[in-house]
Amino acid sequence: MMPKTPSVILREELAKRQLELLDIYHGKEKDIIRVKDKMSGKVFLYETKTFVRDMDKDRITELANNIQEKLKELVSKK
């Protein structure tokens, strides 16, 4: 079995949180992740500090948690 790529791991981690990874846009110094909240159907953009492809599994899990927290903040403000 091939090792999972960082984007596959991120997709799985987000799915555990009722979030769907739509796209990862690669910038010059960071990535922008497009995520859909499965509960509300809303789509959000999340800017990373580094490239997803350079992250290990622990960092990706942390990233998924950060995305979930950020979305909770955005949803609760409305």
pLDDT at 75 over 90: no
For residue 3, the model assigns a pLDDT of 82
Q: Is the pLDDT of residue 78 over 80?
A: no
Domain locations in the chain as residue ranges: 6-77
Average pLDDT estimate for 58-71: 97
C-alpha distances out from residue 23 to 1, 7, 76, Å: 24, 9, 24
Split at pLDDT 50, 70, 90, the class of 74 is confident
pTM of the model: 0.90
Residue 7's closest CA among 28, 29, 34, 27? 34
